[in-house]
Structure 1
């Protein structure tokens, strides 16, 4: 029994069998991984091709929409909008011309009224005429103030009467006369001078614009008195220097004249 087992070499080459088995399974594993990798790459390529195909189809749709002619309804709407825009532009231009026309007419009328009130006549500047047919039509349709040539005789007569009445009223308006109130101190030579006679001689000085007022005797010193007399003079007619000189001409009674008070009325 021992002889056959000793002659068998199976267990003696066990390591070789194990190595052969391991190499076999490793080879199977490498083939399986290669097959899986190949399957994955094929699927990715298929997906990429599908994506490219979808993209090309979408681009074709966009190109078709771009090159397709617009429908008749869209064209009609665009034409209507363009027409409305043109009408609005024409309307704005006509309104602008009317505003400029009105402003020029108002300016001309103001200048004429001011000239008539001041007593002088000024030429009326006619508004500039339009060079386009549209502006001419607008001027004919819209006439806010009317033409000056159409003014009738009654309106002109009423205006002239009002201007004449205004000028007469302005001429008859009382003018303010500048006046001054004075108090003069008139000193005599001595206590023997008769102040009553001196006052009488002073009041004899008369001229247009001079009005004598109240008077009194004021003691000075050593029994001597002075005459304090008031008067009102018109500044344009009577000079204060002239009045004092006229009083000082009464040298038989008057020694000096002083202005004690001066007030504008």
Structure 2
């Protein structure tokens, strides 16, 4: 038969736990120490008290963990960060000092010209009242420097006229550029019985201003017939190819035709 207490919730150790809690409260109040109580105290109470003391120490000093000193790895890291921060601070301080020196040097350099430029301006200022006094004493219509300006203007005009005249004279003294051409003519005879030497002499007798004959040669045509190839230099404004052709073909007993082989400007 089952016991009627099996289905009920019963706390058999209530007195034991109440006594332990009372002892713990006395320890916290300072009226008792761990170990006191029944048979030297309860080990559970001691463990609870020690655990609470450790938690309290950790809360009061989370870095050292209640042991009074930080871990070696954490200290090394803090010291390394401290050294790096000190190094950066020193570099920034050096840069600031360098910039301050440069700014001071620039300010000193800019101040000297300003002072030197201000001195002549200050020296020139007293002359203005004197000029104002002179204007008050003199007539308003009188121009002190009017005559000098007119003389300078006249002198400039005279110099300019002299320079223009000298340029024109220099330009007129230069010889004008004469346009010339180099012409090669081919003079054909009637037949192989024509005296080519006599024909060349007839051609060279053509003479006028601006015409100068040059070298010549005989060029074979065929069937024993040769043609005269002769060069001349002419001034373009005085002699043309039409004149040369008409003057040479005028010797109709020797010349059949005249052709222009080459015409080059010189």
Q: TM-score, normalised by structure 1?
A: 0.43
Which is richer in helix?
Answer: 1
Q: TM-score, normalised by structure 2?
A: 0.43
